[in-house]
């Protein structure tokens, strides 16, 4: 029996309590493909959109990893933790009095609203100790669990949008009180730790804080509404296995299991839940090339374009600059990814197309 080729982007709604690697591990079992990678790790306590690249589509991970991401976070004030989320150990606290909370409510929570408004813009962020960032080959979280704290270099990030979605304020006399929390929608650049934003918000206001709930809702062109739950995939896998069992086949048998995995993948593909590389890379500007130009790139030959050519062949129209990354499209669609390199002494300016990845070998997007 011929093996079904599995290639594409699967969007999964990661549940709370499972690591991103745990999602990948389960998917390998469900669809029978070892070559799987995800874009952008989610903390175990976090939920939401995990874009999974399957098969040769893993070539897109390095590009999708650069996308901006959107999160919804609930920030609980009154307690800071070492992990900056609800799973950590208390490191600082602030006891809200009913009078303090009532006064904040009466004035419309102006300090909180101003602090959220001030979040946006370019800034430097120090990665938390409980993170997967590696220092001399060691992940920071491993050092943190061993009781070590080391100096970390701040990283440039951008908070594009910070929206205050709601405030939950309850005095001691109200159910669940005293409590002060807020819900935020944050659109951020690659490498931004939302937990750090929650912690710093608490520090700035003098109340201490941590991330109580975190949901990723968007990665580049993909939205959480497009995702399938891991439970739904597992339930469907079991249904397909049971149907074959009813026909006298043993789902524990390797060939039968492969049949179930292929059927599940086919259903996902036919229902539009497997997304193409073209869609996955639609967040980059397109540079449209002729068939001959694409063949030059495929064969490793130099291709240069002047500024006017790039302006007319790009969509949306982009102003050429050194290092600008583009999705390279031929007459039949996506051919690869590359960036511009300024050619010296060009009048008018010329740019070499530096290919970073060619996709047409496995997507057959170029006619022979």
Catalytic residues, by residue number, are 43
Burial of 20 (0-12, 13-18, 19+ CB in 10 A): buried
Angle at 282 between CA 281 and CA 287, to 5 degrees: 95
Beta bridge partners of residue 330, listed in sequence order:
333
How far is the C-alpha of 188 from the C-alpha of 120, rounded, in Å? Answer: 9
How far is the C-alpha of 325 from the C-alpha of 331, rounded, in Å? Answer: 19
Q: Retrieve residue 268's tokens.
A: 């996902």
What are the DSSP calls for 28-95, one per residue? HHHH--S-EEEES---TT-EEEEEEEEGGGGGGHHHHTTS-EEEEEEEEETEEESSSBTTS-EEEE--
Beta bridge partners of residue 219, listed in sequence order:
69, 222
Closest CA relative to residue 50, chosen from 269, 278, 200, 233: 233
Specify the 3-state DSSP secondary structure of 214.
strand
Q: Retrieve residue 176's tokens.
A: 């669940």
User: By the 8 A CB rule, do 365 and 333 touch?
Assistant: yes
Residue 201: Cβ within 10 Å count: 25
How far is the C-alpha of 17 from the C-alpha of 268, rounded, in Å? Answer: 25
What are the DSSP calls for 120-172, one per residue? -EEEEEPPPSSSS-EETTEEHHHHHHTT-------EEEEEEEEEEEEEEEE-T
């Amino acid at each position: 029996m011929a093996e079904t080729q599995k290639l594409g982007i699967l969007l999964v709604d990661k549940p709370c309590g499972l690591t991103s690697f745990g999602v990948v591990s389960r998917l390998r079992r469900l669809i029978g493909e070892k070559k799987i990678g995800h874009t952008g790790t989610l903390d175990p306590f976090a939920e939401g959109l995990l874009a999974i690249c399957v098969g040769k589509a893993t070539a897109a991970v390095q590009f999708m990893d650069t996308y901006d991401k959107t999160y919804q976070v609930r920030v609980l004030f009154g307690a800071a933790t070492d992990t900056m989320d609800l799973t950590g150990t208390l490191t600082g606290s602030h006891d809200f009095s009913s009078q303090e909370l009532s006064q904040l409510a009466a004035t419309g929570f102006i300090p909180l609203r101003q602090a959220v408004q001030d979040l946006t813009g370019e800034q430097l962020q120090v990665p938390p100790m409980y993170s997967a960032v590696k220092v001399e080959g060691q992940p920071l979280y491993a050092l943190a669990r061993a009781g070590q704290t080391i100096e970390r270099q701040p990283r440039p990030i951008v908070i594009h949008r910070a929206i205050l979605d709601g405030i939950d304020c309850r005095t001691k006399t109200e159910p669940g009180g005293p409590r002060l929390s807020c819900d935020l929608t944050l659109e951020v650049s690659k490498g931004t730790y939302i937990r750090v934003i929650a912690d710093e918000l608490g520090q700035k206001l003098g109340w201490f804080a941590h991330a109580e709930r975190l949901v990723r809702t968007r990665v580049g062109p993909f939205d959480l509404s497009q995702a399938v739950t891991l439970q739904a995939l597992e339930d469907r896998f079991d249904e397909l296995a049971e149907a074959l069992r009813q026909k006298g086949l043993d789902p524990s048998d390797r060939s039968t299991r492969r049949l179930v995995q292929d059927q599940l993948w086919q259903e996902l593909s036919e229902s539009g839940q497997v997304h193409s590389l073209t869609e996955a890379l639609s967040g980059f500007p397109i540079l449209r090339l002729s068939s001959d130009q694409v063949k030059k790139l495929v064969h490793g030959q130099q291709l240069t374009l002047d500024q006017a050519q790039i302006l007319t062949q790009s969509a949306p129209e982009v102003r050429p600059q050194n290092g600008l990354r583009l999705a390279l499209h031929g007459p039949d669609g996506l051919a690869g990814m590359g960036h511009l390199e300024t050619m010296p002494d060009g009048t008018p300016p010329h740019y070499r197309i530096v290919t970073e990845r060619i996709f047409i070998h496995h997507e057959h997007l170029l006619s022979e």
